[in-house]
Amino acid sequence: MSRLPTVIATACFAVAGAAAWGTAHFGAGWIETRSVQALDKVFAQEALDWVEVYPDGLILNVTGTAPSEAARFRAITVAGTVVGSGRIVDAMDVIDPESIAPPRFSLEILRNDMGISLIGLVPSDGGRAQLSEGLANLGAEVPVTDMVEQTARDVPENWADAVDFALRSLRDLPRSKISVSKDRVEITAIADSAEQKATLEAAIARRAPAGIALAMSISAPRPVITPFTLRFTKDGDAVAFDACSADTDAARDQIVRAAAGVGFEGKADCVVGLGVPSASWADAVSLGITALDDLGGGTITFSDADVTLIAADTTPQSTFDRTIGQLESDLPDVFSLHSVLPPKPESSAAQAEVPEFVATRSPEGIVQMRGRLSDVAQEAAVLSFARAHFGSEDTYIATRQDPELPNGWPARVFAGLEALSHLNNGTLIVQPSTVEVRGDTGSRTARADMSRILSSKLGESADFSVAVIYDELLDPTANIPTPEECVARMNAVLEVKKITFEPGSADIDNSAVDQVERLAAAFEDCDRIRVEIGGHTDSQGREEMNLNLSQQRADAVRSALVDRGVEPAALQAVGYGETQPIEDNGTEEGREANRRIAFRLVPNPVPAAALAAEAAASAEAPDAGETADPSQEAAADE
Q: What pLDDT was estimated at residue 26?
A: 45
- List the one residue out of 563, 566, 559, 565 whose CA is nearest residue 625: 559
- How many CB atoms within 10 Å of residue 150? 13
pLDDT value of position 97: 59
Three state DSSP letters for 286-343: HHHHHHHHHHCEEEEEEECCEEEEEECCCCCHHHHHHHHHHHHHHCCCCCEEEEECCC
Q: What is the pLDDT of residue 20?
A: 46
Cα distance between residue 558 and residue 508, in whole Å: 11
- Which residues of the chain register pLDDT less than 50? 1, 7, 12, 15-16, 18-27, 349-350, 605-615, 618-638
DSSP string, 406-449: PTTHHHHHHHHHHHHTTSSEEEEEE-SS-EEEEEEES-TTHHHH
Task: Give the HSE-up count for residue 295: Cα atoms under 13 Å, Cβ half-sphere.
Answer: 33
Among residues 482, 571, 569, which one has the least CA distance to residue 519? 571
Dist CA 89 CA 60 (whole Å): 6
What is d(CA 638, CA 632) in angstroms, rounded to the nearest whole number? 13
Closest alpha carbon to 103 in 117, 120, 118, 126:
120
User: Closest Cα to residue 181, out of 204, 205, 207, 215?
Assistant: 215
pLDDT for 626 equals 40
Q: Tell the burial category of 88 from Cβ atoms under 10 Å away from its Cβ (0-12, 13-18, 19+).
A: buried
Instruction: Please answer whether residues 53 and 36 qualify as being in contact, where contact means their C-beta atoms are separated by less than 8 angstroms.
Output: yes
Q: Comparing C-alpha atoms, which of 500, 522, 502, 523 is closest to residue 512?
A: 500
Helix (H, G, I), strand (E, B) or coil at 591: helix
DSSP 460-521: TT--EEEEEEE-GGG-GGGTPPPHHHHHHHHHHHHHHS---BSTTSSPBPGGGHHHHHHHHH
Conformation bin of residue 284: beta by default, left when phi > 0, alpha when psi is -120 to 50: alpha
d(CA 312, CA 322): 15
Whole-number Å distance between alpha carbons of 186 and 532 = 39
- The whole-angstrom separation of Cα 325 and Cα 320 is 8
For residue 172, the 8-state DSSP code is: T
CA distance 490 to 51: 65
The model's pTM is 0.52
Residues 6 or more apart whose Cβ sits within 8 Å of residue 151: 103, 105, 121, 123, 124
Whole-number pLDDT of residue 420: 94
Q: What is the pLDDT of residue 4?
A: 53
Q: Are strands 229-235 and 238-243 parallel, antiparallel or unpaired?
A: antiparallel
- Write down the pLDDT at residue 637: 41
Buried/exposed 465-499: b ≥16 CB within 10 Å, e otherwise? bbebeebebbbebbbbbebeebbebbeebbeeebb
Report the pLDDT value the prediction gives residue 234, as an integer from 0 to 100: 92
| CB-CB neighbours of 305 under 10 Å | 18
> What pLDDT does residue 140 have?
61
- Residues 67 and 75: their CA atoms lie apart, in Å, by 11
Q: List CB contacts of 207: < 8 A, sequence separation 6 or more.
A: 165, 168, 169
Task: Name 8's Cβ contacts closer than 8 Å, sequence gap at least 6.
Answer: none
Q: Are strands 464-470 and 229-235 parallel, antiparallel or unpaired?
A: unpaired
Residue count of the chain: 638
pLDDT score of 346: 59
3-state secondary structure of 231: strand
What confidence tens digit (pLDDT) does each residue in 495-509 have?
888 898 888 888 998
> What confidence score (pLDDT) does residue 72 get?
83
pLDDT score of 10: 54
Q: Report pLDDT for 78.
A: 81
- The identity of residue 281, as a single letter, is W
Task: Give the pLDDT of residue 35.
Answer: 76
- Do 555 and 506 form a contact (C-beta atoms < 8 A)? yes
